Structure 1
Amino acid sequence: MQLGPINLPGRNSGIDVLRGIAIFMVMLLHFSLTYRLWNSGPLVGLLGQGWTHAILAHGNFAVTMFFVVSGFLITTNAAERMGGLGKIELRSFYIKRFARLIPCLLLALVIITILGLCSVASFATKAPNSRSELLLGCLSVLLFFHNILMQHLGYFDYALNVYWSLSVEEVFYLAFPIVCLILKRDALIAIPCVVLVMVAPFYRSAHENNEIYYLYANLACFDAIAIGCLTSILARRWRPSFSTARALQFGGCVTLVAFWLQGFSGFHAVFSFTIIALSTAVIILGSLTNPPDVNSRSAIGQAICWLGRHSYELYLFHIIVLGIMRDILPGKSLGGVWQIPWLLLFLLVSMFAAAGAARLIGDPANAILRRHFAPAP
């Protein structure tokens, strides 16, 4: 057992692997929802329809993984940079969140708005007042109430609706530092996190027949972020030995895969998201002591880490790429033989867009805003 602060020199490859797998599965889910990879084609021929559907159709679990990683990293960074969660400096915390999120988000929303106003199908809303709803949708993304707006309007805009998870995260993080300052001690801060973990299954159970509430509501998702926060609090006091870390990683991976394949039905409809979140947290704990050495492994491992490092930009821009592609070639017109080439094109263009947005907009703007408004102490 190891005690003391969490030392993350540079980036933790285990966390990047988790994020890389998660964003890849989100992209596969969105591509499959249009082109139905689980109905026919090479993957069905290789794996069978049941396995293909089980792997691809449950991509919402990947968002749960993101929430856990986010909660862990933000809690860890806040505690270590400011000397404890009870010492969070609100201005610095919020400016750093703004600097990381908003520049690339603004670019994505500008692109979506232009395409929507030009009546490109995947970017225009379906309502009679399409322009006003498009602008309202963009505003809801910027002000982090998009998932709540969806509860009133339904799936009203293909491209914008993907950004519901950003609203969930940022509402949590608007309140998180204030709660930390009020409660001060880690043990007290853990209490509301535990409450959120306990409430979420009951909320999902009560809304099992309403997909938008069941999947996208704040109380349906806050438990995963809270589990990430609790994992950080635990890791500052206890870290496993090398052998224990390997066992945690193995057990976490097995449990995550098993519940992923089972999906949302029956018992799993209520508890799968919580168990996926707990499994992700266990894997994170293991990676603190035993991170995978991806640099000495295959190109695939390094590619997954690249996806993890650019997961936010991929999240923002892959849906724009896919929206354009599905308007060029609608789902029913794509033959099975073309599924894999079209998927590879989607992945490559999304990666190029994400890398370009990060290099040209996100990273420079993030650095400038932090330097001028939230300089390091």
Structure 2
Amino acid sequence: MRQKQEDIYNPQLDGLRTIAVVLVIMFHWFPVDKGFNLISNGPLGVTLFFVLSGFLITRILLQNRLLRPVYRFSDIYKVFMVRRVLRIFPLYYLMLLFVWLAPRIAFIPDIQTDFYEHPLHYLLYSSNFLIDKTGNWSNVLSIFWTLAVEEQFYLFWPIVIIKAHARNLKQVIMATILAGVAIRGLLFVVDHNAGVLMPTCLDSFGLGALWAYVLVNNDNPRRFIKIINLAAPIAGLLFLYFCFNHDNTLFKVLFFRLAMSVISLYLVANASYKKGFGSYFGAFLENSVTMYLGRISYGLYIFHIMVPYLLIPIMISAIRYFFEISVILTDQSIIMFSTILLIMVSTMSKYCFEQYFINLKSYFSLKRVANRRAEDLVIK
């Protein structure tokens, strides 16, 4: 009997979430093209999130495929989407509500965002289309483009995975990977190269999905691991080359994200296969602090721009107003206090707000849907 992969908890994946969000934070908190950011930390962190999402979501959907004789596709799709909504929407819309209310609160400084001019793009999870059009990366909500991409992926991917014929499923996933690369190339040719539209990220999601297929179907995962372990160093060299070569060429557009995706797949596949990484890196991923940060990584991602941009200035102003003390912080002290505050805010968000909605997921399962339908039939 095939083991239910979605019920398996891989602790090292929490560690990878920490690595991903730390890379993104470093990219936004430190000077570009200097020090830590001599390499493209932000894009690599985002790509790791995409590959991880592709793996985890596809692993769940592949198990749900086995339930098609029992449950209708509409039930599987509805339960999947509701559970995704409960995990992602509440904090996302809470942040939008805060940004909308901010101009009405006297002590909050002006927030630089195009949310006020284009609210529907954010409300409808299409801010990536807005950034693709305007190129406004100075917007404090610009990081929401990745959440828009993920949500758009969630909308159509269950249809692909559950509806595709079993004998063609692997080929469909591989075609998805190739489609991501090809679409980036096509858009580059027509001089359209922001890279924030969901189809341009399909190779990242698809590589994670391919590993989920191999693992769930026991399609020689050991051989897959050997191949990805050989490909990862080549991808790493390509990644470094692209980091230090700033020419915007077709070659870079095609293979920069693909190289980051292969690096990310190496991490995800090895962390989720058997006992995961060994040695010091495995111990780091399973360290209690690393895993904890991974569990609050959604909040860390959502708040990491707002904390130094808004919360630190508000606290300095409050100290000046109430205690008549002028506070001047160095760049290093700003980063230190921002780190502490970010972890505190994300912890409160996770356990005082997000957890309530996460607990509601238990009310939305295929078994409950089937039981409710059976009760309706009896009543009728």
> Per the shorter chain, which TM-score range?
0.7 to 0.9
1:269-308 equivalence runs, <5 A? 269-287=253-271, 288-292=273-277, 297=283, 301-308=287-294
Q: Does 1:182 align with 2:163?
A: yes
1:67 paired residue among 47, 50, 72: 50
1:123 paired residue among 88, 111, 114: 111
1:20 paired residue among 6, 18, 21: 18
Considering only CA atoms, is the larger Rg found in Structure 1 or Structure 2?
A: 2
Q: CA distance change for structure 1 residues 281 and 307 in 2, over 3 Å: closer, same or farther?
A: same
CA distance in 2, matches of 1:104, 1:211: 35
1:249-264 equivalence runs, <5 A? 251=230, 254-255=233-234, 257-263=236-242
Give the residue type in structure 1 aligned to 2:332.
Answer: I
CA distance in 2, matches of 1:141, 1:201: 27
**8 Å contact from structure 2 (residues 270, 277) kept in 1:** no
**8 Å contact from structure 1 (residues 239, 285) kept in 2:** no
**8 Å contact from structure 1 (residues 54, 260) kept in 2:** no
Q: CA distance change for structure 1 residues 80 and 203 in 2, over 3 Å: closer, same or farther?
A: closer
Match of 2:331 in 1: 339
Q: Does 1:227 align with 2:187?
A: no
Q: Which moved more, 1:144-153 or 1:352-361?
A: 144-153
Q: By how many angstroms is 1:122 displaced?
A: 6.4
1:133-282 equivalence runs, <5 A? 133=117, 136-137=118-119, 139-155=120-136, 158-185=139-166, 187-208=167-188, 213-236=193-216, 237-238=218-219, 240=221, 251=230, 254-255=233-234, 257-263=236-242, 265=245, 267-282=251-266
Gaps of 5+ in 1: 45-51, 330-334
Gaps of 5+ in 2: 317-327, 369-380
**8 Å contact from structure 1 (residues 248, 285) kept in 2:** no
Q: What is the TM-score of this pair, normalised by structure 1? A: 0.77
Paired residue secondary structure (1:160): coil
RMSD, aligned CA: 3.6
Paired residue secondary structure (1:214): coil
Match of 1:48 in 2: none
Q: CA distance change for structure 1 residues 256 and 311 in 2, over 3 Å: closer, same or farther?
A: farther
Q: What is the TM-score of this pair, normalised by structure 2? A: 0.76
Match of 1:47 in 2: none
1:95-116 Cα deviation digits (max 9, x unpaired): 1111111111122212222225
1:10-39 Cα deviation digits (max 9, x unpaired): 63122222221111000111112xxx2755
**8 Å contact from structure 2 (residues 208, 265) kept in 1:** yes
Match of 2:374 in 1: none
CA distance in 2, matches of 1:364, 1:320: 23
Q: CA distance change for structure 1 residues 311 and 258 in 2, over 3 Å: closer, same or farther?
A: farther
CA distance in 2, matches of 1:258, 1:305: 29
Q: CA distance change for structure 1 residues 284 and 299 in 2, over 3 Å: closer, same or farther?
A: closer
1:171-217 Cα deviation digits (max 9, x unpaired): 111011222343242x4333443233213233333445999843311
Paired residue secondary structure (1:291): coil
Q: By how many angstroms is 1:224 displaced?
A: 0.8
**8 Å contact from structure 1 (residues 252, 283) kept in 2:** no
**8 Å contact from structure 1 (residues 113, 123) kept in 2:** no
Q: CA distance change for structure 1 residues 105 and 53 in 2, over 3 Å: closer, same or farther?
A: closer
**8 Å contact from structure 1 (residues 4, 238) kept in 2:** no
**8 Å contact from structure 2 (residues 145, 196) kept in 1:** yes
Q: By how many angstroms is 1:244 displaced?
A: 8.7
Paired residue secondary structure (2:136): coil
Q: By how many angstroms is 1:345 displaced?
A: 1.9
Q: By how many angstroms is 1:257 displaced?
A: 4.3
CA distance in 1, matches of 2:152, 2:352: 28
Q: By how many angstroms is 1:362 displaced?
A: 0.8
1:299-358 Cα deviation digits (max 9, x unpaired): 9943222222222221112122132168679xxxxx9x9333322222221121111111
1:74-93 equivalence runs, <5 A? 74-80=57-63, 83=66, 89-93=76-80
**8 Å contact from structure 1 (residues 17, 308) kept in 2:** yes
CA distance in 2, matches of 1:209, 1:324: 40
Q: CA distance change for structure 1 residues 298 and 272 in 2, over 3 Å: closer, same or farther?
A: closer
**8 Å contact from structure 1 (residues 58, 260) kept in 2:** no
CA distance in 2, matches of 1:192, 1:161: 32
